[in-house]
């Protein structure tokens, strides 16, 4: 293995970091001789070697570069410390940057290795397609014009997949809305669909529209789906976790009439857990495009989205800490106003009910002042356990108010929620070791939009 890796063609991967380290130390000696090794610099120049060289070097040379850089830094640090070797190692601050060089280099090498692996698989598929075209040409050099067009189409398909791969591989954003917009751009560009929707699962099997691209001539021509089980094709896609087309449903249900406006449904998952985030649903697609090329393109785009969703979810968790109230752990009032405006526009656009519920502690003034924060926090926790995941619980302007934003909820739904709160409150107070009359509530609700 050593002979095959460290040959004359690969030795430059080892010499490159050594030359760069030598150049850095030479500049260091001539211009900053008082700080040999740049140990007093916050952003150490050796980071440049890791971040510049490792991602463009194939495995295992990226890791080797990181090790060379870390070893060079370690030797310089030890030489400058003037202490014994054991004493030097016992001080964590002396080796933490060395360890970071190795960890970051290893991580970047794995990214490059994974990229090369996936690219290799794709290139193998492309090579197989190109070989198929060449075989056809060799077997029958006198093919007619129609056969020639079909062969050319196969070749163009492989070229298209390459282009989609390059575009989809850059699909990454820490913001979920930006990620969804980028996803829509790719679908619009490569699938040539004039009407498609990105659905997001919000609770159980309920769906909301995260984004859409509908041409004017198709506006109002499709029944949008509010629940996974409302459409046979989306339901099959959800159950199997795989892409489904209209043709798959027809083949599976030859004896039954299946009513569905959907042409293709592709699930999008969180890559780490396999949890389904939502669906890419194409409502309009030319029959000639209902082929493996289009399906491969959608699966490729969805696959890259699944990786990017993990980053956006992590960033969403960080952002939620900035919009949560420190005392109650409910949302802040400013965030409530922003979401209410967004949900109101969405209710108008997709014609669903939207209501708000204001919950007031009527005996707030009679509660001991030192107990008030605790009572308010307990009430916020209680309400968050009663309402749905899609509902928003936040603080209101005054201390003794909490508010709930309730999408897809009419007056009847609000009254049912109030009944559930009143029924569950005594048991909650008992479990919290509070008297049954320690919290008295009053309610005020309003239906902001009623579906037509």
pLDDT tens digits, one per residue of 171-230: 555 567 777 777 787 777 777 788 888 888 876 788 888 888 888 777 666 777 888 888
Options 3.40.50.2300, 3.30.70.890, 3.20.20.70, 3.30.70.270; CATH of 333-449: 3.30.70.270
332, 423 Cβ separation under 8 angstroms: no
pLDDT higher than 70, residue 167:
no
User: How does pLDDT run across 309-323, given as a tens digit for each residue?
Assistant: 776 666 555 555 567
**Is the domain covering 143-312 a CATH 3.20.20.80 domain?**
no
What's the distance, CA 188 to chain centroid? 20
Bridge partners of 394, per DSSP, are 331, 403
Mean pLDDT of the chain: 77
Strand ranges (DSSP E) for 230-353? Answer: 244-245, 264-269, 276-284
**pLDDT per position as a tens digit, 97-156:** 788 878 887 787 778 778 778 888 888 888 888 887 776 555 555 545 555 555 444 444
* 450 or 150, which is more confident: 450
* Confidence at residue 443, expressed as pLDDT on a 0 to 100 scale: 92
- What's the angle, vertex CA 43, arms to CA 42 and CA 44, rounded to 5? 100
- What's the rounded Cα separation, in Å, for the pair 221 and 392? 32
Q: Quote the CA–CA distance of 406 and 392 in Å, as a whole number.
A: 7
**145-168 and 92-139 helices, crossing angle to 10°:** 170
pLDDT above 70 (res 90): yes
Residues 6+ apart with CB under 8 A from 126: 158, 161, 162
Task: Give the predicted TM-score (pTM) of the model.
Answer: 0.40
Percent of the chain with pLDDT over 70: 80
Confidence (pLDDT) at 135: 67
**CA-derived radius of gyration, the chain:** 30
Residue 84 has what pLDDT? 80
User: What does the domain layout of the chain look like in residue ranges?
Assistant: 2-117, 143-312, 333-449
| 417 against 117, higher pLDDT | 417
pLDDT for the residue 319: 56
Residues 6+ apart with CB under 8 A from 368: none
The answer to whether the CB of 95 falls within 8 A of the CB of 102 is: no
CB-side neighbour CA atoms (13 Å) of 157: 22
Lowest mean pLDDT segment, chosen from 59-63, 106-110, 381-385, 425-429: 59-63
Give tens-digit pLDDT for 389-407.
888 898 887 667 888 999 8
Coil, strand or helix at 241:
coil
Residue 346: is its pLDDT beyond 50?
A: yes
Query: 238-282, pLDDT tens digit by residue?
Result: 888 888 887 776 655 544 445 678 888 889 888 777 888 889 888
The SS3 of residue 410 is: coil
| 441 vs 400: CA distance, rounded Å | 10
Determine the pLDDT at residue 445: 92
Q: How many residues does the chain have?
A: 452
Instruction: Give φ, ψ of 446 to 5 degrees.
Output: -150, 135
Evaluated on CA atoms 105, 111, 113, 116, the torsion sign reads: negative
């Amino acid at each position: 293995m050593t002979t095959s890796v460290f040959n004359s063609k690969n030795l430059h991967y080892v010499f490159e970091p050594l030359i760069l380290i030598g150049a850095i130390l030479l500049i260091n000696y001539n211009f900053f001789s008082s700080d040999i090794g740049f140990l007093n610099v916050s952003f150490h120049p050796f980071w440049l070697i890791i971040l510049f060289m490792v991602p463009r070097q194939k495995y295992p040379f990226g890791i080797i570069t990181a090790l060379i850089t870390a070893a060079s830094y370690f030797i310089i640090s030890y030489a400058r410390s003037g202490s014994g070797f054991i004493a030097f190692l016992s001080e964590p601050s002396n080796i933490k940057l060395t360890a970071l060089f190795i960890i970051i280099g290893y991580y970047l090498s794995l990214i490059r290795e994974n990229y090369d692996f996936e690219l290799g698989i794709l290139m193998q598929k492309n090579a197989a397609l190109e070989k198929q075209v060449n075989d056809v040409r060799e077997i029958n050099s006198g093919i007619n014009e129609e056969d020639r067009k079909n062969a050319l189409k196969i070749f163009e398909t492989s070229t298209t997949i390459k282009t989609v791969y390059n575009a989809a591989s850059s699909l990454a954003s820490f913001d979920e809305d930006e990620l969804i917009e980028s996803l829509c751009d790719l679908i619009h560009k490569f699938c040539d669909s004039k009407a498609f929707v990105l659905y997001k699962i919000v609770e159980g099997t309920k769906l909301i529209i995260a984004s859409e691209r509908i041409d004017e001539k198709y506006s109002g021509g499709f029944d949008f789906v509010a629940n996974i089980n409302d459409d046979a094709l989306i339901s099959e896609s959800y159950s199997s976790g795989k892409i489904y087309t209209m043709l798959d449903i027809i083949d599976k249900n030859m004896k039954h009439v299946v009513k569905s406006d959907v042409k293709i449904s592709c699930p999008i998952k969180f890559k780490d857990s396999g949890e389904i985030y939502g669906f890419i649903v194409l409502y309009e697609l030319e029959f000639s495009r209902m082929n493996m090329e289009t399906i491969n393109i959608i699966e490729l785009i969805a696959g890259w989205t699944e990786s990017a969703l993990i980053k956006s979810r992590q960033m969403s968790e960080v952002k939620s800490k900035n919009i949560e109230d420190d005392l109650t752990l409910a949302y802040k009032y400013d965030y409530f106003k922003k979401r209410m405006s967004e949900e109101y526009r969405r209710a108008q656009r997709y014609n669903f009910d939207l209501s708000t519920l204001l919950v007031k502690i009527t005996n707030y003034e009679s509660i001991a002042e030192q107990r008030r924060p605790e009572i308010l926090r307990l009430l916020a926790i209680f309400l968050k356990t009663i309402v749905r995941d899609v509902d928003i619980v936040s603080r209101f302007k005054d201390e003794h108010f909490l508010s709930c934003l309730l999408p897809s909820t009419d007056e009847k739904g609000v009254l049912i929620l109030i009944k559930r709160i009143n029924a569950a409150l005594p048991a909650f107070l008992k479990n919290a070791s509070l008297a049954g009359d320690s919290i008295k509530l009053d309610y005020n609700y309003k239906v902001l939009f009623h579906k037509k």
